[in-house]
Structures are given as structure tokens and as C-alpha cells.
Amino acid sequence: MQNAVPERPRRADEPLPEAREVAFHIWKITVPIPFPLRTVNMHALVGEDGWVLVDTGMGTPDARAALKAGMERAHLRLDNLRAIVLTHHHPDHVGLSGELHEKSGAKVYMHPIDETAIQIFWSHAMPQRFGRVSKFFLQHGLPQTQLWLSHVEPRTMDDIIRVPPHEAITMVEDGDEIDLLGERYQVIWTPGHADGQICLFRARDGVFLAADHVLPRITPNIGLYSQNERPNPLQDYLASLAKVANLPARIVLPGHGEPFADLKGRTSEIALHHEEREALLLAMLKEQPQHAYQLAGQLFQGRLKSDEALRMGVAEVIAHLEHMRYNGLLQQEHTADDFILYTVA
């Protein structure tokens, strides 16, 4: 079964595509993705009479092979997949949702903000949408870049990312309780990494399905990617961190990386990281007014190697700059050649 998973070089601390029971009747199935994080976790919640899948990876050939192997290892069959919970709209979390829903008839849950996003991003309105996104980045100094998905044939794209139709999705909001195979889960809306991201908390035994809100090893990407999003994602994110910090969680199951226990400790570390980064950016802006792309170059020092990583890095810097601007520390200056510079207020 292991041979079904193609070999590729990895960092020593990175989990291989694998399927492992990480808590009683909860399986973590880790599959490869063509993005800087390299793997994503799906979580299977197994009950008496079927199972529930939290997030769905993408439909690339190596991810399909890893999912198949993982399901075999965990003795999971599609005919009794009862529900799919999609934590947020990113392609590595929703890619196979349309196909798995069609094959199983599973009920699909999502927050309305990100449900709107998947219909916009992963339906055919995409090129128009991304045209607006690149204008936004150009103003912040980023040269034209290629999106990963622009390299993919439209037909292949359908295999890799396909989402259920709007009518098939059950919307869930902050504070809702949903029943999944007889267990109660609290829905916690955690905007920041994505505007409509949700986490699930099972109070009975402290299982916290953290999506990409709180990750171990790396800090989640908090970026502003267009003028159509909530305007201050870092402020949202810090409020969402505070919202979950004191949950009585016994195990945190993140969207990337390994499970961990110390939720409160990790939220403090991440909040501190953002404070430190803002102090660095402020110091750079005291030297001279700059746009986000120039600042990202100094901050990341050539570490942003792919177009994908570059866009994410610049979007993170914009999120920090906007957070500081809303807090009265910075101002924007529009130049004659249509760039947005930031200056110390």
C-alpha cells in the first residue's frame, strides 16, 4: 500500500503522506499538495454507522493515490461517508469535495462566506476574478506573477478542484452545534487565514479541529489578497486567536502538520510573531516610504522562491501594513504611476 505513494524529497520533520489514528476513532490522512506547505491533512471521524471527513485535499494523481491508500488503511468506504465539513475555501481543503459528495451523497457543511468564495473561485468566473486580484498586487509593487492553476489544463483542473453546487451545501454559522454521527461539535468562526474559516470543537473530550487557524511549526498565512475581502485580516486573525486560546482542548488537529496539545501556548507564540514582524516593518518604514513588495524583499531575503510563495509573502506584508494603518501607525500614499506606498504616520 505504501508503494502507491510516490517518493519525493522532504524535510526530516515533515509528515509523509500517511494515515494514522491520532485520537480514538479519528484518523489523520495526509496527502501531497503542489504548494509550499507540501502536504495537507484530512481528518476522518469514524462512528458506528459511517464516517465524516473534515477537508478533502486536492485531486492530483499523487493525492488521489495517498487518499486511496489512507482509506484502505483506516477501513473507510465511500458508500458510508455521511458528511463532509469544509473548513475554508482554499483549494487544498476543498479540491475533491465535489467528487466525494457526488459519489457518496454525503451532506456538506461550510460557512456562508467561504461557500460564496468556492462558487466564485472554482466555477468558471475565475479568470475575471483573478484579473482584479493581479491589479491589486500590481499597485502594491508585485510584478506580474503566474498562478499555479494557470499552468493547468482546464480539463485536468476539473479533476483537481471541483466543488459541490451551492444547493448541496448546508451553511453553518459561529456558535452552531452540529451533530455528526451522534457526537456534538461546536462551530467556531475564525476569520483571519480565510474570511469564512471554521473550526470544530468537541467539548466531550476536548478534540479541536483547528483547520489552518492554529498550526504547529509554521505560522498560518494571514494575507490581504484583494479589495473584495474583509479589509483587516490580521485584526480578524488576532481576535480569532483570542477566541480559541482558552478552549479546554486536549488535542489540536491542524490542517497541516502534526497534532499537538498546547493550544494556549501556541496561540501566544503566533501572536508574538506578528508583533515582532510589525516592529520590523515599522523600522524599515522609518528609513523611507516603501510599497509592500519592497518590504517583502527585505523581510524574506530571497526565501520566496515560487510565484505562489511570493504572492503569499506580499499578501502577508499588506495585511500587516493595513493592520498598522487601521491602528493609526501608518498612512498610504498613492504615487502618480499608481503604486501604493506606506509611510509612518
Between 38 and 277, CB nearer to Zn ion: 38
Interatomic CA distance for residues 290 and 155, integer angstroms = 41
Interatomic CA distance for residues 165 and 8, integer angstroms = 35
Interatomic CA distance for residues 190 and 168, integer angstroms = 23
- Report CA-CA distances (Å) from 195 to 50, 59, 235: 31, 24, 12
Could you give the count of Cα atoms lying within 13 Å of 68 in the half-sphere of its Cβ?
A: 13
The count of chain residues that interact with Zn ion, using the rule CB under 5 A, is 3
The span of 21-29, 174-182, 207-215, 319-327 binding Zn ion (CB under 5 A) equals 207-215
Residues 6+ apart with CB under 8 A from 327: none
Answer for which of 99, 195, 212, 229 binds Zn ion (CB under 5 A) is 212
* SS3 track for 89-102: CCHHHHCCHHHHHH
Nearest approach, Cβ of residue 336 and Zn ion (Å): 37
254 binds Zn ion (CB under 5 A): no
Nearest approach, Cβ of residue 83 and Zn ion (Å): 20
- Nearest by Cα to 171 from 108, 213, 119, 230: 108
Nearest approach, Cβ of residue 328 and Zn ion (Å): 30
Nearest approach, Cβ of residue 197 and Zn ion (Å): 7
Residue 165, all three cell numbers? 453546487
The CA radius of gyration of the chain, in Å to the nearest whole number, is 20
Answer for which of 89, 90, 213, 274 binds Zn ion (CB under 5 A) is 90
Helical axes 263-287 vs 233-245, angle rounded to 10°? 160
Nearest approach, Cβ of residue 190 and Zn ion (Å): 11
Nearest approach, Cβ of residue 246 and Zn ion (Å): 24
The span of 1-9, 237-245, 253-261, 332-340 binding Zn ion (CB under 5 A) equals 253-261
255 binds Zn ion (CB under 5 A): yes
Annotate each residue in 34-73 with x if it binds Zn ion (CB under 5 A) or - if it does not, as one string.
----------------------------------------
Nearest approach, Cβ of residue 89 and Zn ion (Å): 8
Asked if residue 101 lies in contact with residue 69, where contact means CB atoms within 8 angstroms, the answer is no
229 binds Zn ion (CB under 5 A): no
Binding site residues, Zn ion, CB under 5 A: 90, 212, 255
